[in-house]
Structure formats: C-alpha cells, structure tokens
Chain A
Amino acid sequence: MDEINCPPLHRWLSVCRLLMLHHPKVAAELVAFLMGDAPLPFRIGWNMRKLGEVSRYKELFTFIDPEGGKTTPIPPSVPSESIHTVLHELPALESTQLWQVFEELAEHVSKLDKAPFTQHRVTEVRQNIISASAKGGVTHDTKMMRILAERALQPMARALHETICGQIKVGDFLGPAFDTVLAYLSFEIPGQVACEVLAFILSVQCTIPDLGSLTATPPLARIAAIEHLSNLTYTLLKTRQPKKVTPYFEMTYLAGLYGGAAVVLASHATEQGNLSRENIEKVEKLAMNVEEMCAHSVHMSFFLPALFSPKEGLERVITESFSLKEPPIKTADFYCIHPGLRSLLERSPRTIYLSVEQVLKAFSPRFLDMNSEEVLEAYQAYVSSCESLDLMQVIKSQFSPIAPDNLQKIRFDLLVLATGALRH
C-alpha cells in the first residue's frame, strides 16, 4: 500500500524523513524559519559560521546580497569587524513546532496500529529521533560515529578472518554498508551520522586486509566511490518522478544520504593528499555538484507534506508564488512536490463558451475548485497509476552504495586472501 492512501501515515513519515535527513534540531530550525517563527540568522553582507572539527570546513563565510551571494570557506578580504558572527544555537527539539507536529501524528499513527507501522514501531522511531537530537546538530556526534564505525568493523574483520580460513564471506564483509543504509532508511540513525559512517565503511572496505585505516584507501577506489554515489544521487532524483508517493520520498531521502556520503568522501580525498591536482579538482567539483543537487532537490522535499495536508500545501504554494511574483509551478518545484500534486496546479481545461466566472476559473489552478477530500482523492487517483518500487529490495542491487569497480576489487581481494596468496 502506498502511504498516500493513509494521509496521517504519509504526514508522519514525511516528518520522520525531515527530522532524520540530516539532524532533528537542524530540521526543526529550518521549519521554524520557513513558518516565519524564527529569523534568518544571517545579515546583509558577510557572515561567519563556526562548524565542528569533523566538518569539511571549520568555518564558512556567507555573503548575502539582494543581487546574489555566496558561501565559501575562504576568509574574505574585508575588515574582520565587518563580518557578522552567526551564533548558531539550536533549540531543544521538544520546544519546537515540528516536534509538536510529530507528537500529534505519532499518536494518530499509533492508534491506527497498522503493520509495519505498529504502535511499537512508532515508539521505537520516536525514541531514535530523541536520541539523535541529543548530540550533534551544528557540530557532529563524533562519539556515535565512532561507536557505529567500530560496530561495522567487527563483522567485516570476522568475515576477513573466516575468508583467510578458506570460507569466502563476501556477503558478510559487505553487510555493514547495507546495514548502515537500511538503518538510515528506517530512521535508526540521522543522516549527519549515517553519511560519515557510510563513507568510512566504503573507504575501509577497499583496504583488504588492513581494515580500519582511512589513509590506506587506494585513491582510485575512493574516486570510484565518490563517482558512484554522485551518479546514484542524480539517478535517484531523476527516476523518482514517475514513482508513487512512498518511493518518490524514499528515493529523495536516500539521495540525501548518498549525496552527503559523496561529500564526506570528497573531503577525505582532499585531506589525504595522495591525489593528483587534476583528481582533487574532479572530486571537489563532484562534491559541489551533489551538494547543489541535494540543496535544490532534496532538502525542501519533505517540508510541505510534513506540515500540511495536500490542499493546504497547494494553497501555500499559491500564496508564496503571489508574494514572490513567480509562477506557482516555480514555487512548487522549489518544494519538489510530487508530480501528482503538481498536476493539480495546472489550469482547468477551457471550453468555448465561458462566463466571466468560468474565464476566471479557466485560468486558475484546478485544485481551487476542490475541497480537501477532493484534492486528496485526485492526488490518490493520479498516484494509483504511478510506478511502484520497493527501495529496500534494490539497496543491494540497483541502488547499492558500493561502486561496481570497488565491488569487483573487494571480491578479487577476498578471493586472493582465501587462496592464501596475501599471507606470504
């Protein structure tokens, strides 16, 4: 069953995706800003944000100007007193509007108690989100990252050991990479942690038999991983379009993880310093590309379905497009709304003989004539003819995070290890 056929579940899942895409508190802050409940922490001119040690850059400088702007790690050549320091303190999750929405929807979904989102599962997800919000946010939860990385290494080391003893354990060796993706998709760990852990696993799995050292990853294997994740990010975002609501949003959510992991790997690649200048430029460009893809096609996707019913979401699109003096479709694309909902923004079909009222209607989006139930029914009807996809089923094949070249290398290295060649 597609989630759009159970509106409270669709909204609850959208809130979960929004909260766990990166970090719950960051999502809550974004929502507060978009709802007009919190000011943008930036000012016109240069702004500086301090980021954590694990971040790709320790500081970021943002220039805001009505004509454009930029964000860069390179300190600008202006007097330091003219740079506004952004004090970035995230609010306690429990005090935010997004959390109130989560709690209301969680109660509703709990009462439905429909598998797989049973009362127990809803409670579990709630607990995961609370745990995720306790650490990290502006900076990273390095402790959690270390624990998960060490936990991932254990089965990989065991699989290596068993391979050395003659039993080739490719599946077991690759398992932690898939487990990390699945843990993220099922809201066990937030994107901020999952990106780092996945990048770590994808790096060390190419260092047979010396697991555990990021520096040992062959440069070409790291580049292959970055290219593969960048390709997948693009493919997920492109091929989500004709899909039903559940795969559309799951693919978007997964693109957030793969894009984020590609950026982390690019950061490792430039820090390790064992790449040619040409390759450093290549991975930096790819990282910028996936960051842009995620900024334009992932980050805003969950906002409307999490906060509003389909009709309210469309109304917000219209209101915002008027205030920004842009076509509603452009606003709808900013929020990456599902094509089924987007279709309701199209004009009503015209007839030859029209009254003044009919003329006005003919030039108005279709949904304006509909009540909430009719909008939902039209949305559901559209979605019923869309393509299905069980994302969990293709994580190990079509959308596997492991680059084909690296997979081949891992298989070969394990085979060599099993035959004893590496022991001498």
Chain B
Amino acid sequence: MIQNIIQQSRTKIDKVNATLIVTSDPRTKLFIPEALFTGAVLFLLNRYYAGFLKGFGLDEMAETHGKWAADYLRRLRSGTFSEADLAEGKGRLETQIQLIKNRLPTDSSKAMAESSVEQAMLEAGAVPAQAHDVAVTISEIVETSEHGRD
C-alpha cells in the first residue's frame, strides 16, 4: 500500500514541485533523476505524516520526525542522495503509517498534516496556491488509500 501512495504521489506531484524541494541553490537548475524525484515525494509524504502526528498531540514523536525530515531534506539537496537514502525514506514512511494506523483522522490532524506540507513547499519557493494544491493533493491520495480508511 505504501508503494501505491508513493506511486500516486509521483504521478500527481509534478517535477516542478519536486525540483523546488531538491534544489539547494536556486541559481542552479537540476534535471532531476527518478531517484531524486521519488526522494522529494517521500520527503513531502513524511512531512504530511509528521503533521498528522502533531495533530494527534504526539508532539514528541512529531518533533523527532521533524528533525529526521530536516536531515533528509539536507541529504536530498546534497547531491549525494543514494539508494540507501531512498530505502530509509520508505522505511520511515512505513513506520509513520503504522503509528497512526488505528487512529481516526480528525479535522485538526488533517489540517496540521496539510499545513506541514504547505510550509515545506513555501520554504522551497512555491507560490501560496501551488503549496496549498500540493498539500491537498497529498491529503487526497492518503485519504483514498486503504491506509487512509483504516
């Protein structure tokens, strides 16, 4: 199922958004390879679930995860992002999905999750409507996935 979420996100979050995430110096335009594209998607999905954790009041876990996400972003932008990093991102996502699996999403947890993605996109240079659209897209993918309904 995690693969399904990643695949759908890869289809719906275009390369413009992924490029913003993985770019460290805006003067340098990257032609991003597939691994980096998936890495950007994993970063956004992880940000989404970190927001969810916070929305459930699991502040400590959310903070730990936030720190991990910041480090993951640094690796994405370092130019040395590897297959091992990709696997770590997927593993981390899996863990987060498990953590919230038995909790019913609330309006506030969903809002926190979306806001977390929106903030990441704004920091990367997205315009507000674009950042909002990416957040809503991820939210819809997660909601329609089986995990979202669990």
Contacts and interface: CB of A to CB of B under 8 A. Distances in A.
A234 B33 contact: no
Contact of A287 (B15, B19, B26, B126): B26
Nearest to B32: A68
27 contacts: A67-B33, A68-B30, A68-B32, A68-B33, A69-B31, A70-B28, A71-B28, A71-B29, A72-B28, A73-B27, A230-B127, A231-B127, A234-B129, A238-B129, A281-B26, A285-B20, A285-B124, A285-B125, A287-B26, A288-B20, A288-B23, A289-B16, A289-B130, A292-B15, A292-B16, A292-B19, A293-B16
Interface in B1-52: 14-16, 19-20, 23, 25-33, 36
Contacts of A297: 16
- Is the contact region of chain B dominated by helix, strand, or loop, or is it mixed? mixed
B28 A74 contact: yes
Contacts of B25: 72, 74
B85 interface: no
A67 B127 CA distance: 29
A365 B57 CA distance: 49
Interface range on chain B (Cβ under 8 Å from partner): 20 to 34
A285 B27 CA distance: 8
Contacts of A315: none
Given A72-B27, A238-B133, A284-B27, A289 B32 contact: no
A293 B14 CA distance: 10
Contacts of A281: 26
A292 B129 contact: no
Contact of B29 (A72, A230, A285, A286): A72
A223 to B, nearest CB: 13
Contact of A289 (B15, B20, B27, B36): B20
B91 interface: no
A227 interface: yes
A68 B31 contact: yes
